[in-house]
Structure 1
Amino acid sequence: MCYFEQTRWACGYWKWGNFRQQCNKEYRTGETCGLKLVYDTSYLDGVCKICDQITKKDRRYRKMEQDIQRWQHEGNRRATIEKTTKDMADLNIQIGALYHSHQEKQRSIC
Structure 2
Amino acid sequence: MCYFEQTRWNCGYWKWGTFRQQCEKEYRTGETCGLKLVYSWQPAQGPCKICEQKCKKERRIDKMLNDIQRWQREGNRRATIEKTMRDVNDIQLQINELLASHVERERTL
The residue correspondences of 1:1-110 to structure 2 (distance < 5 A) are 1-109=1-109
1: CA distance between counterparts of 2:88 and 2:46?
A: 28
The residue type paired with residue 16 of structure 1 is W
The residue type paired with residue 2 of structure 2 is C
> How many percent identity over aligned positions?
68
The residue type paired with residue 84 of structure 2 is T
Report the aligned-residue RMSD. 0.7
Deviations 1:31-83 (A, max 9, x none): 11111110110101311010000000001001111111111111000111011
The residue type paired with residue 80 of structure 1 is T
Which secondary structure does the structure 2 equivalent of 1:15 belong to?
strand
Which secondary structure does the structure 1 equivalent of 2:46 belong to?
coil
- Could you tell me the TM-score, scaled by structure 1's length? 0.96
2: CA distance between counterparts of 1:108 and 1:68?
A: 40
Give aligned pairs, total.
Answer: 109
1: CA distance between counterparts of 2:107 and 2:40?
A: 20
Which secondary structure does the structure 2 equivalent of 1:28 belong to?
coil
The residue type paired with residue 70 of structure 2 is R
Report how far residue 17 of structure 1 moved: 0.6
Which secondary structure does the structure 1 equivalent of 2:54 belong to?
helix
Q: Which runs of 5+ in 1 are unaligned?
A: none
Q: Which runs of 5+ in 2 are unaligned?
A: none
